[in-house]
């Protein structure tokens, strides 16, 4: 399956993640056609130049662990905590409940 999406498109979608919720690289990838684009999504987010406008810190790993961040995982965790999302041992507390799916994201 060919998707062809750019960094810009990923950022647009990321902007839709509401405050206090999180999603995963895989979920974003699904929005572009297949979960196997998850890697590319990570690269696209890393390329994010408008860190304030795009909440890329709300994108975490599918297993609940926060994953990486261009400014360091510590910073990512700090930003999440500011929004009321608690992280314990590198893992998002209540990950399942806070997770927002592609369909929810697209119907916004």
Partner DNA sequence: ATAAGGGCACCGC
Partner DNA sequence: CGCGGTGCCCTTA
Angle between the N-to-C axes of helices 38-46 and 7-14, in degrees from 0 to 180, rounded to the nearest 10 = 90
- DSSP one-letter string for 35-85: GGGHHHHHHHHHT-S-TTTS-GGGEE-TTSB----TT-HHHHHHHHHHTT-
Task: List the x/- string, 70-89, binding to DNA by CB under 7 A.
Answer: x-------------------
Measured from the CB of residue 36, what is the shortest distance to DNA in angstroms? Answer: 5
Binding-site size for DNA (CB under 7 A) equals 34
Measured from the CB of residue 81, what is the shortest distance to DNA in angstroms? Answer: 16
Does 99 interact with DNA (rule: CB under 7 A)?
no
Does 95 interact with DNA (rule: CB under 7 A)?
no
Q: Considering only residues 15, 18, 21, 67, which one is a binding residue for DNA as defined by CB under 7 A?
A: 67
User: Of the candidates 88, 84, 80, which has an alpha carbon nearest to the alpha carbon of residue 58?
Assistant: 80
Tell me the catalytic residues.
56
User: What are the residues binding DNA (CB under 7 A)?
Assistant: 2-7, 24-26, 29, 35-48, 56-57, 59, 61-63, 67-70
């Amino acid at each position: 399956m060919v998707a062809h999406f750019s960094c810009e498109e990923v950022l647009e979608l990321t902007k839709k993640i509401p405050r206090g919720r999180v999603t995963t690289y895989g979920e974003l990838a699904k929005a572009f056609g297949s979960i196997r684009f998850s890697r590319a999504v990570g690269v696209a987010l890393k390329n994010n130049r408008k860190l304030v406008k795009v909440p890329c810190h709300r994108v975490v790993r599918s297993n609940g662990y926060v994953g990486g961040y261009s400014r360091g995982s510590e910073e990512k965790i700090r930003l999440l905590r500011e929004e009321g999302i608690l992280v314990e041992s590198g893992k998002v507390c209540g990950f399942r409940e806070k997770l927002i799916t592609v369909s929810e994201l697209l119907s916004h």
